[in-house]
Structure 1
């Protein structure tokens, strides 16, 4: 089995940076309660700016696949390859531009490369790591020679007032309203990409992928982040939007089209994530003292604080000075966030050959946690 390396990364953030004071002007205003909750949520997530593939008239400036393709081209441009060298494409996203066909087909079409193998992964944040693992395995066993991996989101389209107004009567309960508003004031748009190969770069640093672990805890937790089912019906999966007798309009009136986040359940799920981290320590896969850098995706600063509190209580904390994030300046871009973070980390430098980089991508959808260990290698 061959070693596999991340040899380049790319990112695409659409438009101009949007500060907190301009969010409502782009997403659209729902009502005064939405504005009040938005200010509370922004204090919790501490995101200062983000990017939207949408203008002030609510018009789309790009597509999910388009942003993935732009990030992919940026990654290839900084690699030692041409697009024609890529023979494997794996994509991750929460929801592609179309219900059918898969997102990887759309990204391949936007790239315009020749025939290649594709794989689509649809989940939430961890879909990026699912895509990365598929590429890692294909390269490791000799099924591919050069892989592109993308994560991309166009979350802003979920947050226009029209997605909420048909079901405003269902948002009278404050917990339900918070579940509907949290992601509206937290998620944003963008694309990220990696180039992976079974050999390091000839010039400059590469990151060897030592291992990737991904665990679903869906057997232990209900749906936490969701769209396609009314919030109060999320314990009954048979009640999905497509089963509504009144069609899509009826599903919208039931609140099934809104993107929701159960904050109380999320706090319980965090304990499950930390439990999987501790299990990897017990197995010797992670030695906290040997980790030189931590790239951990999290949706809000308040959740970072909760994770650190639990790791510290367990005696397994990695020095916080080793943690890197760009959440506060690039926003939470879901499945794209980790790749956008890694791209900035690679470009900044400050790492040395032999150093270990622990990458952590949790997902609240239905409790997924993923880890990747990298080792810095210099050509």
Structure 2
């Protein structure tokens, strides 16, 4: 049996926030942190992003509500009603509550009839983890359809008030670079896909050929982490005598160990080469390379490493990202990318897509190979 993405959907809160308005929303944290903003934004290339908080730092729409909006968008396009969905597979990095699971909260927000749920938790790759659950259940015939959704609400954790009692501020009054860096990088939004056992009766669907997820947590300590103030993660937020003590020690500040990022480039291309050697895809026939990356600088590093190794990866013209327009929305990024490509008519029958989602959390690299088909082309191919 096969599984097909028959519809996509997305939800981006508010209007696109330009770079000069970022601190109108998240505020300033530390006296000198803003001095880093221009340097960070120059490297990442992001021009606008979306926030689910307002300029008074109040939450306008919850994480679960954003996910539900993206699900409704995709389900409507697929012609699925509230009682038609058989599996909801949901992913996020920082859910609204620590329990119940994110999928439960999204299901409650939707108000759909009883269905199976699955929650995937992680950083960027958890969206692909949720996608693999949906894909496999449909592909083996366990479910006729599934909706996979990934959503992120990062801005809520970057509000300036979150840092007021944090002791880990440099002598000059600025946040450590590993903390300040992410405040200007991450944004909010949700993306969803409908996965069904047959292609849509009209238009282009995307056959899921395979999904590969590989963890390299055995090679390094955490690179991007939340819940500890050290990337060894030996003392976590729950080990403090109180949540106030954990906050004061900076355990609730999302961090990025920048010195480890080049390692992500290496393991990402190592994994690409491994799949290439296995014959999983032919780079000469890949039409599109939808890629989630955290910055334009990271893209340049990856393309440079491909060239240095002499590994075929297509030209930069087939790489597709909307990072500069929607910001870095983590696990939701690849689904928002696919939604944009589908709704803008960029994908045609017969196109092949190699989607890439590297995660710097503790190094997970995900690839997904898709083939664009129509109901007629699938019918013609069957004996």
Specify every segment of 5 or more residues in structure 2 that has no aligned partner in the other structure, as ranges: 376-383
Counterpart position of 1:135: 134
Aligned-pair CA distance for 1:287: 1.7
Counterpart position of 1:27: 26
Give distance in 2, aligned partners of 1:177 and 1:257. Answer: 14
Counterpart position of 1:12: 11
Contact 2:216/2:363 (8 A) holds in 1: yes
> After superposition, what is the alpha-carbon deviation per residue over 1:254-299, rounded to whole angstroms, capped at 9, x for unaligned?
1100000011111122211110011111111122111110100001
Contact 1:50/1:331 (8 A) holds in 2: yes
Aligned-pair CA distance for 1:168: 4.3
Greater alpha carbon shift after TM alignment, 251-260 vs 315-324: 315-324
Q: Does 1:321 align with 2:320?
A: no
Counterpart position of 1:57: 56
Superposition pairs for residues 236-255 of structure 1, below 5 Å?
237-245=233-241, 247-255=242-250
What TM-score results when the alignment is normalised by the length of structure 2? 0.95
Q: What's the Cα RMSD here? A: 1.5
Tell me which of 360, 373, 379 is aligned to 1:377: 373
Superposition pairs for residues 259-298 of structure 1, below 5 Å?
259-298=254-293
Report SS of the residue matched to 1:16: coil
> After superposition, what is the alpha-carbon deviation per residue over 1:293-349, rounded to whole angstroms, capped at 9, x for unaligned?
010000111111111111111222311111111111111111111111110011111
- Structure 1 pair 3/169, CA: closer, same or farther in 2 (3 Å)? closer
- Structure 1 pair 147/171, CA: closer, same or farther in 2 (3 Å)? farther
Give distance in 2, aligned partners of 1:281 and 1:135. Answer: 25
Contact 2:228/2:251 (8 A) holds in 1: yes
Contact 1:150/1:336 (8 A) holds in 2: yes
> After superposition, what is the alpha-carbon deviation per residue over 1:17-74, rounded to whole angstroms, capped at 9, x for unaligned?
1000100011011234211111110001110001101111111001000000000000
Report SS of the residue matched to 2:78: coil
Counterpart position of 2:297: 302
Report SS of the residue matched to 2:212: strand
Aligned-pair CA distance for 1:169: 3.8
Specify every segment of 5 or more residues in structure 1 that has no aligned partner in the other structure, as ranges: none
Give distance in 2, aligned partners of 1:103 and 1:181. Answer: 27
Aligned-pair CA distance for 1:352: 2.4
Give distance in 2, aligned partners of 1:78 and 1:328. Answer: 27
Superposition pairs for residues 38-57 of structure 1, below 5 Å?
38-57=37-56
Contact 2:31/2:174 (8 A) holds in 1: no
Tell me which of 341, 344, 352 is aligned to 1:345: 341
Give distance in 2, aligned partners of 1:165 and 1:267. Answer: 32
Report SS of the residue matched to 1:214: strand
> After superposition, what is the alpha-carbon deviation per residue over 1:100-120, rounded to whole angstroms, capped at 9, x for unaligned?
110000000001001100000
Give distance in 1, aligned partners of 2:168 and 2:130. Answer: 39
Counterpart position of 1:228: 227
- Structure 1 pair 197/93, CA: closer, same or farther in 2 (3 Å)? same
Q: Does 1:333 align with 2:329?
A: yes
> After superposition, what is the alpha-carbon deviation per residue over 1:182-232, rounded to whole angstroms, capped at 9, x for unaligned?
11101001111000001000011100000000000001111011110013x
- Structure 1 pair 175/269, CA: closer, same or farther in 2 (3 Å)? farther
Greater alpha carbon shift after TM alignment, 194-203 vs 284-293: 284-293
Give distance in 1, aligned partners of 2:143 and 2:348. Answer: 28
More helix by share: 1
